[in-house]
Amino acid sequence: MRRLWRSVLFLGRDSRLRAWLKPWTDSLNTFSKGHQSLSVVLGMAVVTTVLPFIILFPPFAGFATQGDWVQGFASAGIFVLLALGLNVVVGLAGLLDLGYAAFFAIGAYSYAYGASPFAGTHFPFWPLLLVGAMVAALFGILLGAPTLRLRGDYLAIVTLGFGEIVPVVFRNADTYTNGTNGISGMYRPALPVTGTFLGLNPVPYYITVAVLVALAMVFLYRIQDSRLGRAWMAVREDELAAASMGINTVTTKLLAFAIGASTAGLAGVFYASKVTIISPDSFGFTVSFTILAMVVLGGMGNVWGVAAGAFVVYEIQSELLKQMNGFVEHLNLPPINLGVTTIDLAKVDFLQYQFLLYGLALVGMMLLRPEGLFPNRRRRAELHDVDDAEAANQELVEA
């Protein structure tokens, strides 16, 4: 049974299929190695073009209209950005951040202060993207500088705490944030050619987020293969040895935090401009954990894998499970007779089981592939568990 599932889920691992595809994948690999940025841009362009048409075919067509699908893809893009940012922190630098949604919130509120009737401001969207990213990065440094000396699990709880504090502050500082009601009526982005984006037309948002994701991926690939990227990996592998090779581990980790946070800030600005209403409740712990699940499921440390993982998890969680009812009705399954009772899937309210199914999906995917769907071939990223003190202690014992 297990083997069957594996072969169904992971056709790509089938050796015959692989052998058949090998000449193609090989030449693709050589090309992408030599022209990394170009191949990312081309890949994103292909994906962006193809996606809105794939869903016109069954089984996807049963779920929603094309417009709804594209709307969903634009939202999925936000989570792809978030997952790419968190991948820097968790996948590359090996720092467990459980409060990542806080930076997302900070980005979103930055946009609310820059372009909403509540704040009485109306700055254009595009520069605010950068501002939001920078503000989030500053808060990343503010949180990271005093806490990055902590070892893994303590850092995890501190970030978790930060992730809880930020929404509490936004909720309770009513004068500045409008409290639980949140801030609404954010101005939408505008471009010279298209004019202001419309809420009903998801296409401009979809294209914008695709461009943002492509840019983020290009930048991350480039950083990954630079002095900083190697320093991140070295810190992840062995912090003590990294320090003994001249790496300022605090600065290195701080940069991972800041860059991760700035990506979340960027995503936050885009999110605020898309939904035009934000409230503290949209940035809770569940969001942080969903992003983490995306990174781990995608395959930590692998840019394309994390992006794909984010997309898959988002679609499962926010689209497929919500549309399950329509989909099952569409299938016209006959009721299953179990003797004692009959199960008519068409009458089951799947919406009610949404989190149950999501939870089962998370557990099942992890049990099948603990290293993620698309693990980094070279580095099966794994958080090291030898911390400073312990390592030093070990050295001492052996002395």
Partner 1 sequence: MDVGTLTQQLVNALTLGAIYALIALGYTMVYGIIELINFAHGDVFMVGSFVSLWLLADFFGLRGPINNPAELVGVLVVAFVFSMVVMGLVGVVIERFAYRPLRNAPRLAPLITAIGVSFILQNIIQIWRGPAQLNSPQLINVQAGFRVGSAEVHWISVFVIAIAVGLIIGLHLFISRTRMGRAMRSTALDREAAQLMGVDINTTIAVTFFIGSALAGAAGVVQGLYYGYTFFTIGFQGGLKAFTAAVLGGIGNTTGAALGGFTIGFIEVFASQAGYANWSEAIVFSILILVLVFRPTGLLGQPTAERG
Partner 2 sequence: MSDSPVTPVLRTVGLTKQFGGLIAVRDVDFEVPEGSISSLIGPNGAGKTTLFNVIAGLFDPTSGYIEFMGRRVVARPERSWLEPVLWMTGPAVLGASAYGAAVAGLSALVVEFLLFAALIVLIGVLILASVRPTWYVDGLVRLGVFKSARPNDMVAAGIGRTFQNIRLFANMTATENVLVGMHDQLRQNPLDAVLQTRRQKREESEARREAARWLRYVSLRGHDDDLARNLPYGDQRRLEIARALASKPKLLLLDEPTAGMNPSETEAMMQLFARIKSELGLTILLIEHDMRVVMGISDRVTVLDHGEKIAEGAPAEVRADTRVIEAYLGKGAI
DSSP string of 278-302, one letter each residue: E-GGGGSHHHHHHHHHHHHHH-TT-
Q: Does 153 bind partner 1 (CB under 8 A)?
A: yes
Residue 83 Cβ vs partner 1, minimum distance, rounded to whole Å: 13
Minimum CB distance to partner 2 smaller for 224 or for 288: 224
What is the Cα–Cα distance from 35 to 33, expressed in whole angstroms? 6
Stretch that binds partner 2, among 25-33, 140-148, 201-209, 270-278 (CB under 8 A): 140-148
Residue 383 Cβ vs partner 2, minimum distance, rounded to whole Å: 12
Q: Does 361 bind partner 1 (CB under 8 A)?
A: yes
168-177's contacts with Cβ under 8 Å and 24+ in sequence apart are 168/280, 170/105, 170/109, 170/280, 170/283, 171/280, 177/109, 177/280
What is the Cα–Cα distance from 298 to 218, expressed in whole angstroms? 18
Are 270 and 129 in contact by the 8 Å Cβ rule? The answer is yes
What is the Cα–Cα distance from 102 to 288, expressed in whole angstroms? 8
Minimum CB distance to partner 1 smaller for 198 or for 356: 356
β-strand partners of 122: 115
Range 307-337 burial, b when 16+ CB lie within 10 A, else e: bbbbbbbbbbbbbbbbbbbebbeeeeeeeee
Q: Does 18 bind partner 2 (CB under 8 A)?
A: no
Minimum CB distance to partner 1 smaller for 14 or for 281: 281
What is the Cα–Cα distance from 100 to 160, expressed in whole angstroms? 8
Which of partner 2, partner 1, none does residue 226 bind to, with CB < 5 to 8 Å depending on kind?
A: partner 2
Q: Does 379 bind partner 2 (CB under 8 A)?
A: yes
Contacts with partner 2 in 221-280 (CB under 8 A)? Answer: 222-223, 225-231, 233-234, 237-238, 240-251, 254-255, 259
Residue 85 Cβ vs partner 1, minimum distance, rounded to whole Å: 17
Residue 37 Cβ vs partner 2, minimum distance, rounded to whole Å: 8
26, 329, 385, 395: residue in contact with partner 1 (rule CB under 8 A): 385
87, 147, 178, 279: residue in contact with partner 1 (rule CB under 8 A): 147
Residue 372 Cβ vs partner 2, minimum distance, rounded to whole Å: 15
What is the Cα–Cα distance from 86 to 382, expressed in whole angstroms? 15
Residue 30 Cβ vs partner 2, minimum distance, rounded to whole Å: 15
Q: Which residue has the tokens 């936000």?
A: 78
What is the Cα–Cα distance from 252 to 232, expressed in whole angstroms? 7
- First and final C-alpha spacing in the chain: 52
141, 142, 151, 345: residue in contact with partner 1 (rule CB under 8 A): 151
Q: Does 351 bind partner 1 (CB under 8 A)?
A: no
What is the Cα–Cα distance from 145 to 383, expressed in whole angstroms? 21
Q: Does 146 bind partner 1 (CB under 8 A)?
A: yes
Instruction: Pull the structure tokens for residue 217.
Output: 């991926």
Q: Does 394 bind partner 1 (CB under 8 A)?
A: yes
Residue 165 Cβ vs partner 1, minimum distance, rounded to whole Å: 5
Which of partner 2, partner 1, none does residue 164 bind to, with CB < 5 to 8 Å depending on kind?
A: partner 1
8, 19, 338, 397: residue in contact with partner 1 (rule CB under 8 A): 397
Task: Say which residues have a Cβ less than 8 Å from residue 318's Cβ, sequence separation at least 6.
Answer: 72, 75, 76
What is the Cα–Cα distance from 251 to 257, expressed in whole angstroms? 10
Are 268 and 104 in contact by the 8 Å Cβ rule? The answer is yes
Q: Does 360 bind partner 1 (CB under 8 A)?
A: yes
Please give the distance of CA 107 from its chain centroid, rounded to a whole number: 15
Minimum CB distance to partner 2 smaller for 70 or for 143: 143
Q: Which residues bind partner 1 (CB under 8 A)?
A: 90, 96, 146-147, 149-151, 153-154, 156-158, 160-162, 164-165, 168-169, 171-172, 285, 289, 292-293, 296-297, 300, 352-356, 358-363, 366-367, 370-371, 380-383, 385, 389-390, 393-394, 397
Q: Which residues bind partner 2 (CB under 8 A)?
A: 37, 138, 141-142, 145-146, 148, 219, 222-223, 225-231, 233-234, 237-238, 240-251, 254-255, 259, 378-382, 392, 394-396, 398-399
